[in-house]
């Protein structure tokens, strides 16, 4: 109890911006408080009690309430594993939060709060909150058990660090404490966004297998979807692409997520478009639109791809309608990336504006200037940019991009 209490004292002291000297004056010396906070000594219950009182807190250890909170936390993390939003459990935990942050469940509550940040819209304020939780959790790392350490490193890998080396290292550390479908899935996500497709396929494959062992159908569905995405691009393997996309659709029907078919058909249609198989692309993209949700922020992408297909097929009226619909789907929150894609599509569909300066600038922004653009988006647009460079006699840049693509598929 005293070791946990010591870490809680340090956590709440830092949160209240109280110095060690200010907290322990008249209770114990500073060096002794420092050892208490590090869990290096076993202070008396009276000293612990006085330190908590100085912080205007009470150590909470009611067995009945802790069992209730433990059950809520277990349900919370189980829902996270099943790709569900644990709002109900979270709201109940919030009502008990003040007491629980002074209890042995403090770490679990902070972890639950931290993971809930993943459901919020990204803003600078959210970024600051993530940093604050990272700092608080780091201060309690010394009392974490293996399950908590797994969640700690998952939080850093998924939310604290940006896509890249630090995030991958954190996710690998999580795997040292627990091999799970989530850990492998998020590791695959990192490699996918970095364009390391063979490693992404390996991780997504492990995630699919582990999810089946865990009975986690939602994550099996997502792993199958991402494996299909990889095979759209990696080696451009139609057989494996169909295999995993069909598994994804079957699982989606089982768990009541049939709207995922919009994503699957969109990805297949986009792949066929990039391969020059226009009839197949048209068929799948038109099917994808049927399954779109009215509030899907990515609806604009579907109509952009349809416009490109109709443009290549010289179906002018359908092309104009798709362009108009894509523009209609734009709103105030539409990302800059999607707006540049819209500029590219509109200019591409008009032969007189194709390959001009604004056209090339839009493609360069899509391919090079978006920090979080996926490898799939970049891979789709690079051939258009290569063609534009050639038209502008920028052969060296065209060759460099061509070599990049060839390297990815070698």
Residue that wins the pLDDT comparison between 153 and 58 = 153
- Please list, in sequence order, all residues whose beta carbon lies within 8 angstroms of the beta carbon of residue 191, skipping any fewer than 6 positions away: 168, 197, 199, 200, 203
Q: What is the pLDDT of residues 195-239, one digit of tens each?
A: 788 899 999 999 999 999 999 999 999 999 999 998 887 657 889
Residue that wins the pLDDT comparison between 404 and 48 = 48
What average pLDDT does range 4-20 have in this prediction? 88
- Mean pLDDT rounded to a whole number for the chain: 90
Question: What pLDDT, on the 0 to 100 scale, is given for residue 60?
Answer: 86
Output Rg (C-alpha) for the chain, integer angstroms.
26
Q: End-to-end CA distance of the chain: give it in Å, rounded.
A: 58
Q: Considering all CA atoms of the chain, what is the largest pairwise distance in Å, rounded to the nearest integer?
A: 85
pTM of the predicted model as reported, rounded to 2 decimal places: 0.84
- List the alpha helices (DSSP H) in 38-140: 45-54, 63-81, 87-100, 106-116, 124-139
d(CA 208, CA 124): 34
Question: What pLDDT, on the 0 to 100 scale, is given for residue 26?
Answer: 92
**Burial status of residue 255 (CB atoms within 10 A of its CB: 0-12, 13-18, 19 or more):** middle
Question: What pLDDT, on the 0 to 100 scale, is given for residue 146?
Answer: 95
Indicate if the pLDDT at residue 347 is higher than 50.
Answer: yes
What average pLDDT does range 294-303 have in this prediction? 84
d(CA 53, CA 222): 49
């Amino acid at each position: 109890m005293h070791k946990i209490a010591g870490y809680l004292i340090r956590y709440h002291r830092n949160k209240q911006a109280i110095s060690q000297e200010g907290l322990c004056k008249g209770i114990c010396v500073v060096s002794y408080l420092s050892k208490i906070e590090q869990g290096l000594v076993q202070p008396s219950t009276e000293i612990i009690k006085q330190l908590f009182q100085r912080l205007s807190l009470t150590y909470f250890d009611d067995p009945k309430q802790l069992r209730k909170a433990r059950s809520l936390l277990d349900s919370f993390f189980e829902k996270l594993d099943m790709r569900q939003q644990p709002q109900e459990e979270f709201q109940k935990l919030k009502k008990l939060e003040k007491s629980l942050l002074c209890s042995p469940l403090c770490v679990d509550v902070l972890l639950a709060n931290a993971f809930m940040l993943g459901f919020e819209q990204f803003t600078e304020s959210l970024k600051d909150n993530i940093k604050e939780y990272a700092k608080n959790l780091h201060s309690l790392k010394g009392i974490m058990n293996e399950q908590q350490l797994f969640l700690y490193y998952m939080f850093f890998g998924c939310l604290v660090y940006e896509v890249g080396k630090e995030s991958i290292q954190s996710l690998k550390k999580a795997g040292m404490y627990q091999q799970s479908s989530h850990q492998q899935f998020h590791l695959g996500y990192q490699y996918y966004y970095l364009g390391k497709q063979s490693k992404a396929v390996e991780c997504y494959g492990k995630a699919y297998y582990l999810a089946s062992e865990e009975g986690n159908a939602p994550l099996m569905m997502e792993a199958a979807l991402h494996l299909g995405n990889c095979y759209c691009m990696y080696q451009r393997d139609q057989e494996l692409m169909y295999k995993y996309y069909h598994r994804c659709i079957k699982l989606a029907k089982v768990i009541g997520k049939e709207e995922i078919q919009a994503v699957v058909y969109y990805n297949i249609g986009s792949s066929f478009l990039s391969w020059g198989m226009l009839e197949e692309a048209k068929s799948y993209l038109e099917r994808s639109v049927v399954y779109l949700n009215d509030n899907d922020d990515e609806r604009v992408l579907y109509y952009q791809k349809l416009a490109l297909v109709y443009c290549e097929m010289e179906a002018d009226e359908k092309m104009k309608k798709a362009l108009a619909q894509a523009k209609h789907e734009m709103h105030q929150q539409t990302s800059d990336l999607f707006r540049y894609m819209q500029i590219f599509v509109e200019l591409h569909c008009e032969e007189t504006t194709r390959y001009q300066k604004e056209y090339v600038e839009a493609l360069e922004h899509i391919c090079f200037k978006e920090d979080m653009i996926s490898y799939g988006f970049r891979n789709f647009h690079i051939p258009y940019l290569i063609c534009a460079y050639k038209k502008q006699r920028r052969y060296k840049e065209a060759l460099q991009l061509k070599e990049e693509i060839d390297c990815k598929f070698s």
